[in-house]
Structure 1
């Protein structure tokens, strides 16, 4: 009986069935994987990308004065004091590469010292890596800076 089951054709057939089962499992796992785009308005933002490049170029002379650090429950952004006192349309987007549902956007108000304390108590994603994308206008110029941060 066992001799009939181990016939060469049956072994090939069993290997083929195992391969089909393995491929079906991989297809199922791929459909369950979450894939996020960096933004829902990708093409809209691509058209305005040159203005972001110009803003990043304006930021280069102040790059050493931008920083971000974390404490438990707080992210502290440090912007150049010379720019911070008269900022307009300022916001910081905390972009999570692994899950767009964790992204956070915070508006920044003018501050003479340039230090902004942002509470992260209600945020999901503690321990995850984020990119702080800071964008603002000051003195008639646009500024843009990206800084890596891990939320505690």
Structure 2
């Protein structure tokens, strides 16, 4: 068998295709790369997304009045001063983009304008916070990304 340009081009294409296929198979079977959805019930939550948009619109006036302060004992969330804290009911959802096992929800139970999320629940790094609450018959939502 004689090696010519045609044979070399075919061998180069076959080698390139084998190289690409190797990396496709490696990437799809690699266990450390989690290919999970953000949430288990993605489609169900997608249908309720309009409610989230409405709650964000309702909370537009309050969004800039929240403060998030890192303290020694945890994360202190201060609610807007114009709101009566006794009438606030809801939950705070903390989402950790790097590890879904660290996500948790925290009920809003206020004795003053501050809500403290304990330090033992929070690891250093990025957290996405959603504050869902009901105030005077309106559903409200504030989203914030913080680095703890």
Name the TM-score, length of structure 1 as normaliser: 0.76
**Gap change, CA 1:118 and 1:54, over 3 Å in 2:** same
The answer to which structure, 1 or 2, has the higher relative contact order (CA under 8 A, 6+ apart) is 1
Q: How many correspondences in the alignment?
A: 143
Provide runs of 4+ in structure 1 moved above 4 Å: 7-12
**Gap change, CA 1:37 and 1:73, over 3 Å in 2:** farther
Question: Which residue pairs with 1:40 in the alignment?
Answer: 40
CA distance in 1, matches of 2:119, 2:29: 32
Question: Which residue pairs with 2:87 in the alignment?
Answer: 86
**Gap change, CA 1:146 and 1:25, over 3 Å in 2:** same
Please show how residues 1-152 of structure 1 align to structure 2 within 5 Å.
9=7, 13=11, 16-17=14-15, 20-21=18-19, 23-32=21-30, 33-72=33-72, 74-81=74-81, 82-88=83-89, 90-112=90-112, 114-123=113-122, 126-151=123-148
Q: 1:92, CA displacement in angstroms?
A: 0.7
Q: CA RMSD in A?
A: 2.6
CA contact (8 A) 1:96 1:129 kept: yes
CA contact (8 A) 1:92 1:133 kept: yes
Q: 1:42, CA displacement in angstroms?
A: 2.0
CA distance in 2, matches of 1:68, 1:133: 12
CA contact (8 A) 1:84 1:138 kept: no
| Corresponding residue SS for 1:61 | coil
Name the TM-score, length of structure 2 as normaliser: 0.78
| Corresponding residue SS for 1:52 | helix
- Unaligned runs of 5+ residues in structure 1 are 1-6
- Unaligned runs of 5+ residues in structure 2 are none
